[in-house]
Amino acid sequence: MADLSETGRDTADAAEDDSPPTGPRRLLIALYAIFALAATARGIVQIATKFDEAPVAYVLSLFSGIVYICATIGLLTNRRWSRPLAWAAVGTEMVGVVTIGFASIIDAEAFPHDTVWSRFGAGYGYVPVILPVLGLMWLWQTRGTFEKHPTTG
């Protein structure tokens, strides 16, 4: 197939021009849903089995899981509160991953037990630090579009 538009572009480029906003949104839903599952399950298992070892880290795991759940719901639904919820959750995630990322590197002893956000999410292939950037980019680029076409459901 000789399609010139295919050559020499990566997927990140393509997000900006030729795709309808639903596509990246659905990928974000996949990403956030998986991390919601991973972080929440991790937090629950840690708190249930060995809470005394590192309560702060484990509560943080659960907190990050809840933030991911809120972001997933914000992206998935199309209500009046959906986008504010997504903004709040993705913003919290951004602040959280940067704060915990720096804190866990500067003061490693305070974070002996990893969370999803420790060391900028190194344990999860650094996806936790990339994810909020993608989320914020998508929210910024699609601002206004959803308010103009309300599809309640």
Tell me which residues touch other proteins (CB under 8 A): 3, 5-6, 10-11, 14, 19-20, 22-24, 26-27, 29-31, 33-34, 37-38, 41, 45, 48-49, 125
Query: CA-CA distance, 137 to 147, in Å (whole number)?
Result: 17
CB nearer other proteins, residue 11 or residue 152: 11
Least gap, CB of 56 to other proteins (angstroms): 20
| Shortest Å distance, C-beta 99 to other proteins | 26
Residue closer to other proteins, measured from CB, 13 or 110: 13
Q: How far is the CB of 59 from other proteins (least distance, A)?
A: 18
**Shortest reach from residue 72's CB to other proteins, in Å:** 10
CB neighbour burial string for 51-83, b if at least 16 within 10 angstroms, e if fewer: eeebeebbebbbbbbbbbbbbbbbbeeeeeeeb
CB 71 within 8 A of CB 31: no
CB 24 within 8 Å of CB 138: yes
